Structure 1
Amino acid sequence: METRANFVLIGAFTLAVIAAAFGFVLWFQSLHTTKARSPIRVVFEGPATGLRNGGSVNFNGIRVGEVISVKLDNPRRVIALAMVENKAPIRKDTLVGLEFQGLTGVAAISLKGGEEAAPPVPLDEDGIPVLTADPSALQDVTEAIRATLQNVNRIVSDNQDSVKNSLRNLETFTGALARNSEKIDNVMLKVDGVMGKADSLMLGLDSIAGGKNGGELAAMVKAIKDLAEDFDKRSGLLMADGRRTLGDISRAVNNLDRNPTRLLFGAGNSAPAEAAPPPAAPRPPAAGPGPRRQQ
């Protein structure tokens, strides 16, 4: 029980340290952000179409800040409060206007130009720098929007026939699809059938090549391997027997060459000794002068 309590204390202490570290990072980041940015007030003598909270503040097209509040000071004036980076080279003669990202995008405060040697932005009563937007720049933006809309309207007007033909073709196409909906359904059913067969084929291939125990392919490969190993063993035995047989034949041929009589009389008998030639018959004595026959 005491060990479990120690574990609980260690876990709680670890979580507390992590939470403290996370809070310190957030605090340091917010402090750094606060030091890196300063408020600036922008006054629009006229409408500020499209400007809202969260809009960008761009200096020469580069984002340097963010709008944090937009309010009406009187029926003809709009005041926007923004947080801008301290490194942004904003001067008293910096031109202020509005710019849009696309035709219907959110408006952004546009800051442009200014001499490097010009004095800093003048401060308002509460110590916040104040810039007044150039009415001509706002008028230029409004005129640009109107010109863009007029160009779009002119393009549509000049291509009414093409637009009508495109819409008519689209209508014809959708009508053809509606008329052939049954055929399309049949085609889709056939496609589903083909896909089902493809799934079955893939499952079959998976059962052959994979599976829990390696699949049928692994079993076939193992059987072929076992057959090859068995054939190798048997061929080795046959070759050994062949070598012994050839040795026996070689020894028999050598023995026959040394003693060919063994082929006729066997290994235990030898050939009969050659008979000695018979002794020569005694020659009759030579005829001498015998007794003469009396007459």
Structure 2
Amino acid sequence: METRANFVLIGSFTLAVIAAAFGFVLWFQSLHTTKARSPLRIIFEGPAAGLRNGGSVNFNGIRIGEVMSVKLDNPRRVVALAMVENNAPLRKDTLVGLEFQGLTGVAAISLKGGEEAAPAVPLDEDGVPVLTADPNALQDVTEAIRGTLQNINRVVADNQQAVKNSLHNLETFTSSLARNAQKIDDVMLKVDGVMGKADSLMLGLNTLAGGKDGGELFLTVKSIRELAEDFDKRSGALMADGRRTLGDISRAVNNLDRNPTRLLFGAGNSSTPAAASASTPTPPPAAPATPRRQ
């Protein structure tokens, strides 16, 4: 029983320490946030279309805070309270306006410019800094949005028939797709079949050209190359034998041309006819006949 009481005490103490740590972190974060930001009141002398709670406050395009509340001070005056960073270089001559993200986006407070030597932002009666938006700038933004919408309306009006035809063509196309859905599915099935056959063909070619042992094509080319090399060696030997045979025939023909009697009488009797022919005197050539004179 005493051991169980010790466990309960230890668990309660652990939970208390964890809760205290979370509370300290939240308190420190809220204190840091409070010190890092301060309130800023912005007055719009006219409409502030699109401005709402949670909207951004941008200085030269960089977010420095957010809108905390928007209220009407009178029928022609809108007052917005924002929390902005303390290090934002706000001055008395800082320009205030609205900027939009697209035609239907939420409006954001836009702060721009200001001289470094200009005085700080003036304080309101309750000590909150206050800036007043330029009515001309707000009017310019409103006029720009209105002009853009008018231009879009004019473009749509001028091309009403073209837009109508495009929509009609789109409707016809979608209807045709709906009617031919089965045919399209059949075509896609055939395409899938063709792609499957192409994959099989590529796999066969890969097996033929590649494979673990070099592929059937590689082995075939290797066999043809070995056959060509063997044929080259055999033809070389055959040509060498042919050259030797032709040499022997050439020498035999030359010997026959120099001593043809050797073929008839043999090698032993070849000298007798030659000697006889050498001892027999050769008759002198006959003198040419002299023509008679008439």
TM-score range, shorter chain: 0.5 to 0.7
AA at the equivalent of 2:69: L
What does residue 279 of structure 2 align with? none
Given the alignment of the two structures, is residue 79 of structure 1 paired with residue 81 of structure 2, yes or no?
Answer: yes
Which secondary structure state, in structure 2, belongs to the residue aligned with residue 45 of structure 1?
strand
Which secondary structure state, in structure 1, belongs to the residue aligned with residue 118 of structure 2?
coil
Which secondary structure state, in structure 1, belongs to the residue aligned with residue 253 of structure 2?
helix
How many residue pairs end up in the alignment?
230
TM-score (ref. length: structure 1)? 0.58
AA at the equivalent of 2:172: T
Q: 2 CA distance for matches of 1:273 and 1:264?
A: 12
Q: Select which of 66, 69, 90 maps to 2:66.
A: 69
The answer to whether the 8 Å contact 1:73/1:79 transfers is yes
Runs of 5+ consecutive residues of structure 2 not aligned to the other structure: 1-35, 73-77, 277-294
Given the alignment of the two structures, is residue 270 of structure 1 paired with residue 268 of structure 2, yes or no?
Answer: yes
What does residue 28 of structure 2 align with? none
The answer to whether the 8 Å contact 1:42/1:132 transfers is no
What does residue 231 of structure 2 align with? 231
CA shift for structure 1 position 226: 1.8
What does residue 248 of structure 2 align with? 248
TM-score (ref. length: structure 2)? 0.58
What does residue 92 of structure 2 align with? 92
Deviating runs (4+, > 6 A) in structure 1?
38-41, 51-54, 127-130
Q: 1 CA distance for matches of 2:153 and 2:216?
A: 70
What does residue 119 of structure 1 align with? 118
AA at the equivalent of 1:195: M
Q: 2 CA distance for matches of 1:226 and 1:53?
A: 84
Higher mean C-alpha deviation, range 165-174 or range 228-237 = 165-174
Which secondary structure state, in structure 1, belongs to the residue aligned with residue 97 of structure 2?
strand
Given the alignment of the two structures, is residue 192 of structure 1 paired with residue 189 of structure 2, yes or no?
Answer: no
CA shift for structure 1 position 270: 1.1
Distance 1:232 1:272, change over 3 A: closer
Q: 2 CA distance for matches of 1:74 and 1:52?
A: 10
AA at the equivalent of 1:67: I
Alignment of 1:1-80 (within 5 A): 43-46=41-44, 47=48, 49=50, 57=58, 59=60, 63=61, 65-72=62-69, 76-80=78-82
What does residue 202 of structure 1 align with? 202
The answer to whether the 8 Å contact 2:94/2:113 transfers is yes
Q: 2 CA distance for matches of 1:144 and 1:105?
A: 15
AA at the equivalent of 1:216: E
